[in-house]
Chain A
């Protein structure tokens, strides 16, 4: 009998993962910290052309880029003279399972099939589950999705329950767990038991699958406006959509496009807390994932995470839950598009940016997702009220209180953002490295790697190290 205790399974992690993803990560690593990211992406992933071919086979991608004409009219009405950028949205909801996650799943499932795996497993409480299940259905593979779904009183998060339903609709087995990071532990148990492929969100396959999104955005924006986007706003959680989109933009030649991350501010709510679990009305795209994954990407389920957001992130903006519910309502009421919640986090940030940018500028929001039961603002806010949240109209930023109060704007001019200082984020990255690797001295190679990994200079990294370790 295998020892299924937490410690025993975690001790077998590397061995299980090697079989389940088939990547020899050590080949790219020159130390625990330093590895050759581009080499890994090149050798393990697939070329953009091949990914397009794989995605064409299962009807993924080539989604419309839609100008939000009514919203853009509204922006021009309330913006100062000469301001009011145009917003376009990439309608990723038109993918087979209803989100960009089909791109992220497509290459993994193709790779699993090609290599003779009988099935795929993914640990995800998000749309990714439905995407893996849908791609597996198309390629005739079995699929298990593990979700963190309930608190200890068996109260399920409606958005996650909906995603579980979608997985079952595509023929997947859904394993629903109570709150805790041990979701990963149990996924390892299942990988070992079944011998299935680990369709991790964080392999080079997953990220290569997203590059087509950035590539299409660059081309479509150029076709529609005569230039590449000035800004692409991207809802940020684990870093995969940001990394993949940014890489795709660059591959298309859109090297001057600014990449702006946006997350819902859930400050103060603990991600692994049983009590806090149902006090969050966004299950992803929030700071609880966004900040930890930006500052230490290698917390993921693979030895080296291919989603490395700080390499590509130019700005990081936070919006509130109330603003995103409001903009979701706006998108339905003014554009006739019921979508979200995921892409609407970046839409809220895009709206705020558009108000202050010149009227000849172009902003692209890089995703929408399908909506419905469990996901709609009505579903989430009804649930929030049941959980004791106060919901009111007011100033969505000043009055916002994650875990206690959700404030819906009274006027669109109240939509704004809180800007994170990128150097503080980079400094947190260095702090995490010091803590995780228990390091006080760094080689030139390590400094160089950290500078590349956070898109800054080696001088800056040295300065952060000095500031963090100065007294020692």
Chain B
């Protein structure tokens, strides 16, 4: 899929490679780079996923990086019903109603 100029996209950039992470860090974090993702409108005429591009963010700042998503979706959601919580309301109401076996 190709993105065209003006499309809302997401880019990714490595800010610090593992060897550049000189802050005190746990070992697992030290092994991986510090990376950034930011969204904006594509400034290049066209681009494919993985290409180096430039974007303009919502406040007009220009940032360059690797294109990782076109019209990136919000991936978080409401989750699934949780069996361990499903009956909590019923149990509590029973106690309020005075069921001594609750």
Residues of A within 8 A of B (CB): 5-7, 70, 73-74, 77-78, 119, 142-144, 149-150, 152, 154, 156, 158-159, 161-162, 165, 168, 171-182, 185-186, 194, 270, 272-275, 325-326, 329-330, 332-334, 372-374, 376-383, 391-393, 408, 411-412
Contacts and interface: CB of A to CB of B under 8 A. Distances in A.
B77 A172 contact: no
15 contacts: A74-B92, A158-B79, A172-B58, A173-B40, A176-B38, A178-B33, A178-B34, A180-B23, A270-B26, A272-B25, A272-B29, A273-B29, A329-B88, A378-B85, A382-B80
Nearest to A194: B61
B80 to A, nearest CB: 5
A6 B22 contact: yes
Say which size band chain B's interface belongs to. 35 or more
B21 A381 contact: no
B15 A182 contact: yes
A326 B88 contact: yes
A36 to B, nearest CB: 31
Interface in B22-74: 22-26, 28-29, 31-40, 57-61, 74
Contacts of B75: 156, 161
Nearest to A10: B23
Nearest to A413: B95
A464 to B, nearest CB: 25
Contact of A381 (B23, B35, B82): B82
Contacts of B40: 173
Contacts of B92: 74, 330, 333-334, 412
Contacts of A391: 82, 84
B26 A70 contact: no
Contacts of B78: 372-373, 376, 378-379
Contact of A173 (B58, B80, B95): B58
Contact of B96 (A77, A152, A270): A77
A194 B16 CA distance: 20
B53 to A, nearest CB: 16
Contacts of B36: 175-178, 186
A274 B85 contact: no
B38 A174 contact: yes
A185 B31 CA distance: 18
A329 B58 contact: no
- Highest count of chain B CB atoms <10 Å: which of A156, A161, A174, A175: A175
Contacts of A393: 84
Nearest to A149: B37
A378 B26 contact: no
Contacts of A186: 15, 34, 36
Given A6-B16, A274-B32, A411-B91, 14 more contacts: A74-B96, A77-B98, A78-B95, A150-B35, A161-B76, A168-B39, A173-B58, A176-B36, A177-B36, A180-B23, A182-B16, A182-B34, A379-B78, A381-B84
Contacts of B76: 156, 158-159, 161-162, 165, 373-374, 379
Contacts of A5: 20
Given A173-B58, A392-B84, A378 B89 contact: no
A382 B79 contact: yes
Contacts of A274: 26, 28-29, 31-32
B96 to A, nearest CB: 6
A369 to B, nearest CB: 16
Contacts of B31: 274
B5 interface: no
A182 B23 contact: yes
Contacts of B24: 181
A180 B77 contact: no
B46 to A, nearest CB: 24
A382 B82 contact: yes
B102 to A, nearest CB: 8
A393 to B, nearest CB: 6
Contacts of B58: 168, 171-173
- Highest count of chain A CB atoms <10 Å: which of B15, B79, B91: B79
Contacts of A165: 74, 76
